[in-house]
Amino acid sequence: MLGRFHLFFGVIIVVTFLLTGQYMHHKYDHLKDMELMNRALFRAGHLYILLFGLINVAIGAYMKPIKHKLIFKIQTFGSVPIVIASCLIIYAFFTELPTNNIERPLTRLSLYMVFFGVTIHGLISLVNHKRLISKQ
C-alpha cells in the first residue's frame, strides 16, 4: 500500500514538473531575459521537483511489503518527510523565486528532509535484506 502511494504520488510530482516547465515558459518567456542567478535558481528549483518525483517513483517501484510491524512503522516514518519535502519543494518553487537572495530556506529544508527519509528507507532495506539472508 505504501509503495503504491509513493508510485502514484511520484507520478503526480513528475507531472507537476512538466507543468512548472510550462509555467516558466509562459510566465517568464522560458527565462530568456532573466538575470543569470535567478535563471539558475529557477532551473535548479525546477529540477528538484523532477528529482523528488523520481525518488517517490523509485521508492514506490521497489518497496516491498514488510510484515514486521516495527520495521513497517519505521518505513512509514521515513516516507513522511519524503512526501512533505516533495510538497514543500513545489511550494518553494513558487514562493522563493525569483529572488535577489541566493538563500532559499524552504528549498534547503526540503532537501534535508528528503535526504533523511531516503536514508531511513535505505537503512530499512539493508536491515530487511540481512534479515532475509539470515533466515536462509
Domain count, the chain: 1
Residue 92, CA distances (Å) to 60, 62, 75, 96 in order: 24, 28, 26, 5
> Which phi and psi angles does 66 have, rounded to 5°?
-115, 130
- Residue range 12-20: average pLDDT? 98
One-letter amino acid at 23 equals: Y
- For residue 135, name the pLDDT band (cuts at 50, 70, 90): low
State the residue range of the domain holding 15: 2-135
Percentage above 90 pLDDT, the chain: 68
Mean residue pLDDT of the chain comes to 92
CB atoms within 10 A of CB 79: 22
pTM of the shown model: 0.91
One-letter amino acid at 66 equals: I
List pLDDT tens digits, range 79-124.
999 999 999 999 999 999 888 788 999 999 999 999 999 999 999 9
List pLDDT tens digits, range 55-76.
999 999 998 877 888 988 999 9
Q: What is the rounded end-to-end Cα distance, in angstroms, of the chain?
A: 26
